[in-house]
Homo-oligomer: A and B are copies of this chain.
Amino acid sequence: MSMITIREVSAYVGQEVTIGVWMYNKRSSGKIQFLQLRDGTGTIQGVLVRNQVAPEIWDEAKLLTMESSLYVTGMIRQDDRAPSGFELDVTSVKTIQVAEEYPIAKKEHGTDFLMDHRHLWIRSARQAAILRVRAEIIRAIQMFLDQKGFTLVDPPILTPSSCEGTTNLFHTKYFDEDAYLSQSGQLYAEAAAMALNKVYSFGPTFRAEKSKTRRHLIEFWMIEPEMAFVDHEGNLEYQEQMLEFVAQSVLQNCQTELQTLERDISKLEKIKAPFPRITYDEAIELLHREGFDDIQWGEDFGAPHETKIAESFDKPVFITHYPTEIKSFYMKPDPKRPEVVLCADLIAPEGYGEIIGGSQRIDDPELLAERYEEHSLSKEAYAWYLDLRKYGTVPHSGFGLGLERTVAWICGLDHVRETIPFPRMLNRLYP
């Protein structure tokens, strides 16, 4: 008799197997108990017929409460009426633990209550499905980048200072020095690209912002590719190819999960390269045509602007060539028009906003030194970053994808708090 997981049942039809499971629901007539079982890899219905098992097995099953743990033994039967296509004709149950009354079982709970019980909430079908899609998105990104010759590098989390001021940074004492938690691994990834050509990082980043929106987490994960000898246009091509690969991988490997989430998969099927590109100038015009009087050339977009722009397209859209003034110090100005930079934000459809920001980087050491002055960056702290332009500077580009926003979009969620096992938000550090 084999010990298997629910994911594997299709290979064991007609065979007796044992599975370690939790019971998440039970229906019972006097003659049959229907046990809804989950093991974290899937769900299956166990059917227990009174006159086909010993009385003590029948009675033991009757005691099982929600989230009780057990080893269940039975024959796998193909059943096209079952949601998973299979059922288990139970021959034996061996209780591990009859669970105490499950706190998040019965009624509709408020978000705070569910977040306080996040360690249990993630067991629910919907939350578990989201976490599996998250893992598949990461897996697909890594596979895509691996196939394209990228090398994973892990930039430091503890950094001596930041390129964007310290107000939104978490501070810690690093022995006798001051250190801050990284907001981005990009600058370090640039150094690595000069050593390894195409690299990417995948790690946690931190913003100590007191904002409470459905798009923000305090602690979030970023994928940050950086590519030597790749220009602005090449940068966009990698991004759209990567997102197409991600969407197709999720469609192929997460069918059950997308069904659980009731995701409209026709929306995901449309995520195919190339993506439309509009310039910042065109985006401003579009907004003015649509009646947005609250934004002028030179100002950054807010969430309502991004949503309006995205509505004009059924794919993600690149907004390129933002004003130099409102973008980061390291972005390369357009040689033909230095008041804008060779950058793009990628705006997801359906109101999910910016999921990628990227640019070609400044490769001219003199221009970069000027930017240090303009942005009051410490020449000592960033001496190493300037070195990258002194010793064999090359055209190079990169981008950062916000994982949680991407998961929210692919899963069709209302809020990023469900996209990560244990979200960190304003007033939320537990569990």
Q: Are B152 and A96 in contact (CB under 8 A)?
A: no
A174-B429, A191-B119, A390-B99 as given contacts; A153 in contact with B127, CB under 8 Å? no
Give Cα A429–Cα B181 distance, bound, in whole angstroms: 12
Give Cα A181–Cα B67 distance, bound, in whole angstroms: 32
Chain B residues near A192 (CB, 8 Å)? 122, 131, 421
Q: Are A120 and B393 in contact (CB under 8 A)?
A: no
Q: Does A392 contact B (CB under 8 A)?
A: yes
Q: Does A297 contact B (CB under 8 A)?
A: no
A5-B197, A422-B155 as given contacts; A392 in contact with B179, CB under 8 Å? no
Chain B residues near A153 (CB, 8 Å)? 131, 135, 421
A40 is contacted by which of B41, B67, B197, B393 (Cβ under 8 Å)? B197
Instruction: Give the residue name and chain of the B residue nearest to A229 (CB).
Output: B20
Give Cα A159–Cα B19 distance, bound, in whole angstroms: 34
Q: Does A286 contact B (CB under 8 A)?
A: no
Chain B residues near A127 (CB, 8 Å)? 195
Q: Are B175 and A392 in contact (CB under 8 A)?
A: no
Give Cα A7–Cα B150 distance, bound, in whole angstroms: 12
Interface of A is mostly: mixed
Give Cα A219–Cα B156 distance, bound, in whole angstroms: 8
A149-B5, A177-B429 as given contacts; A119 in contact with B384, CB under 8 Å? yes
A158-B219, A421-B188 as given contacts; A135 in contact with B119, CB under 8 Å? no
Q: Does A39 contact B (CB under 8 A)?
A: yes
Q: How far is the CB of A129 from chain B (nearest CB, A)?
A: 10
Q: Does A196 contact B (CB under 8 A)?
A: yes
Chain B residues near A160 (CB, 8 Å)? 429-430
Instruction: Give the residue name and chain of the B residue nearest to A390 (CB).
Output: B100
Give Cα A135–Cα B197 distance, bound, in whole angstroms: 14
Give Cα A120–Cα B190 distance, bound, in whole angstroms: 11
Binds B, one of A47-55, A165-173, A275-283, A341-349: A165-173
In the complex, per-residue mask of A34-67: 1 if CB is within 8 Å of any chain B CB, else 0: 0000011100000000000000000000000001
Q: Are B392 and A96 in contact (CB under 8 A)?
A: yes
Interface residues on A, range: 35 or more
A219-B157, A421-B188, A424-B158 as given contacts; A122 in contact with B40, CB under 8 Å? no
Q: Does A287 contact B (CB under 8 A)?
A: no
Binds B, one of A138-146, A259-267, A301-309, A368-376: A138-146
Give Cα A423–Cα B229 distance, bound, in whole angstroms: 27
Q: Are B171 and A173 in contact (CB under 8 A)?
A: yes
In the complex, per-residue mask of A172-205: 1 if CB is within 8 Å of any chain B CB, else 0: 1111010101000000100111111110000110
Q: Does A128 contact B (CB under 8 A)?
A: yes
CB interface residues, A 391-431, toward B, < 8 Å: 391-395, 420-422, 424, 426-427, 429-431
Q: Does A151 contact B (CB under 8 A)?
A: yes
Q: Does A22 contact B (CB under 8 A)?
A: yes
Q: Are A175 and B426 in contact (CB under 8 A)?
A: yes
A196 is contacted by which of B119, B131, B394 (Cβ under 8 Å)? B131
Give Cα A351–Cα B236 distance, bound, in whole angstroms: 47
A203-B204, A394-B69 as given contacts; A387 in contact with B120, CB under 8 Å? yes
Q: How far is the CB of A261 from chain B (nearest CB, A)?
A: 15
CB interface residues, A 317-346, toward B, < 8 Å: none
Chain B residues near A388 (CB, 8 Å)? 119
Give Cα A431–Cα B155 distance, bound, in whole angstroms: 11
Chain B residues near A170 (CB, 8 Å)? 158, 172-174, 179
Q: Does A238 contact B (CB under 8 A)?
A: no
Pairs of residues from A and B, 3 with the lowest C-beta to C-beta distance, nearest first:
A40-B197, A20-B229, A384-B431
> Known contacts A40-B195, A135-B151; can you find 8 more A-B pairs with CB under 8 A?
A20-B394, A119-B385, A131-B151, A157-B157, A157-B206, A157-B219, A170-B179, A203-B204
13 cross-chain CB contacts under 8 A: A5-B149, A40-B196, A96-B394, A96-B395, A119-B385, A135-B153, A154-B221, A154-B421, A156-B424, A158-B170, A158-B219, A384-B430, A384-B431
